[in-house]
Amino acid sequence: AQKVTQAQTEISVVEKEDVTLDCVYETRDTTYYLFWYKQPPSGELVFLIRRNSFDEQNEISGRYSWNFQKSTSSFNFTITASQVVDSAVYFCALSEWGRGNKLVFGAGTILRVKS
């Protein structure tokens, strides 16, 4: 069954610190997609990244980077030099290609960046 676990309920850091948000997933499919979304206080879900199960290359986009490791079923997200504007709830999600492609979300990690 699909399952996404974000063990960190809340993280607080001081501006300019690096922070890593953990995501562990479970799936029986060999073809699947992993996502990260940001949900600021305004409530909308902002897409950050999508990776497919055949692409384990790490990705960097500005201050954001993602580490995908199939061996440990993890898809971790690192923010380098955090800023106050990074404060939000971050969700990891999984979509299985053969099961209607619905997104299954983790419980989310609240990130608080203090100045």
Partner 1 sequence: EAGVAQSPRYKIIEKRQSVAFWCNPISGHATLYWYQQILGQGPKLLIQFQNNGVVDDSQLPKDRFSAERLKGVDSTLKIQPAKLEDSAVYLCASTYSPGQGSSGYTFGSGTRLTVV
Nearest alpha carbon to residue 54 among 33, 36, 85, 84: 33
Instruction: Tell me if 104 sits within 8 A of 87, measured CB to CB.
Output: no
- Cβ proximity to partner 1: between 44 and 115 the closer is 44
Contact residue for partner 1 among 11, 13, 24, 104 (CB under 8 A): 104
Note whether 64 binds partner 1 by CB under 8 A: no
Tell me whether residue 2 or residue 67 sits nearer to partner 1 (CB atom): 2
Nearer to partner 1, 35 or 68 (CB): 35
Q: Does residue 25 bind partner 1 (CB under 8 A)? A: no
Choose which of 25, 36, 108, 111 interacts with partner 1 (CB under 8 A): 108
DSSP state of 108: -
DSSP code string of 27-74 = -S-SSEEEEEEEE-TT---EEEEEEETT----EEETTEEEEEEGGGTE
Q: Return residues touching partner 1 (CB under 8 A).
A: 4, 33, 35, 43-45, 47, 50, 52, 91, 93, 95, 97, 100-108
